[in-house]
């Protein structure tokens, strides 16, 4: 496990050295969303019984920040290593596909979890937030950041230039997170948008995560867990297959 541990520490130190950009900047942008939406819609009816709109927003914004930062960490690391040419030094080491995969994923999860934790701790200064089912919060937080960081690995491998990497972020990750119910309950959507939303896997990540706070959700948390768990396993197998083939990694 020396190789895995070394790569993991290297990846964590990589984002920690620029924590102003990787931790503080996402915190500021997320809190701006919270302040603006909570203020503009302060007279909005309670989304769930006893849950104001401002409180309802916090888990969604927290998960959105975790997903985007987990994706950004693994994808940016790989594309930078490919462009600068130093990825070859990682590939030359006797690391297995699993060690390579989990080193990047766990580092991305750490960044996502740090950002999410800082967001919720800061939000607690302004709102009283319940934590009804902390086990569900941790479970969906872990599975969702694994999915986002795995997508980041796939994107980092597939992209050959920085603009291709930006396309993944702007045309796939960003729309999926914004249209996943982070800012609204899908029960408030009219047909056919409520049906279309159910094909977005990010919806189940945020909805299950939100259930951990309020014990209320738009979808059964068990069904959300099934969808999120299935997506996680599928992406893991696809990524390991890509790593084993060496596609766009070994020239």
Residue 251 maps to a domain: no
Is residue 79 within 8 Å of 159, Cβ to Cβ?
Answer: yes
Residue 9 maps to a domain: yes
Query: What is the total count of domains within the chain?
Result: 1
Residue 147 maps to a domain: yes
Tell me the residue range of the domain where 36 lies: 2-245
Q: In which residue ranges of the chain is pLDDT below 70?
A: 39-45, 251
State residue 196's pLDDT score. 87
Residue 130 maps to a domain: yes
State residue 130's pLDDT score. 93
Residue 40 maps to a domain: yes
CA distance 117 to 106: 16
Q: Which two tokens stand for residue 24?
A: 């503080």
CA distance 115 to 112: 5
**Is the pTM above the cut of 0.85?**
yes
State residue 51's pLDDT score. 85
Residue 227 maps to a domain: yes
State residue 192's pLDDT score. 84
State residue 45's pLDDT score. 67
CA distance 5 to 210: 33
Residue 229 maps to a domain: yes
Q: pLDDT tens digits, residue range 98-157?
A: 999 999 999 999 999 999 999 999 988 888 899 999 999 999 999 999 999 999 999 999
């Amino acid at each position: 496990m020396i190789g895995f541990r070394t790569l993991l520490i290297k990846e964590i130190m990589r984002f920690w050295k620029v924590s102003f950009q990787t931790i503080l900047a996402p915190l500021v942008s997320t809190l701006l969303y919270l302040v603006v939406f909570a203020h503009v819609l302060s007279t909005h009816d309670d989304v769930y019984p006893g849950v104001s709109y401002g409180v309802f927003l916090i888990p969604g914004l927290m998960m959105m920040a975790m997903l985007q930062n987990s994706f950004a960490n693994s994808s940016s690391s790989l594309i930078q290593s490919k462009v600068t040419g130093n990825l070859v030094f990682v590939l030359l080491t006797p690391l297995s596909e699993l060690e390579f995969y989990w080193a990047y994923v766990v580092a991305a999860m750490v960044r996502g979890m740090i950002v999410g934790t800082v967001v919720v701790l800061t939000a607690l200064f302004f709102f009283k937030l319940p934590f009804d089912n902390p086990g569900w919060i941790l479970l969906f937080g872990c599975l969702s950041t694994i999915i986002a960081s795995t997508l980041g690995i796939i994107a980092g491998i597939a992209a050959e230039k920085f603009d291709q990497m930006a396309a993944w972020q702007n045309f796939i990750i960003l729309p999926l997170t914004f249209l996943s119910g982070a800012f609204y309950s899908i029960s408030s959507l009219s047909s056919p948008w409520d049906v279309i939303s159910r094909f977005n896997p990010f919806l189940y990540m945020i909805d299950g995560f939100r259930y951990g706070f309020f014990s209320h959700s738009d979808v059964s948390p068990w069904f959300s867990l099934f969808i999120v768990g299935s997506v996680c396993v599928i992406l893991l197998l696809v990524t390991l297959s890509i790593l084993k083939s060496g596609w766009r990694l070994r020239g």
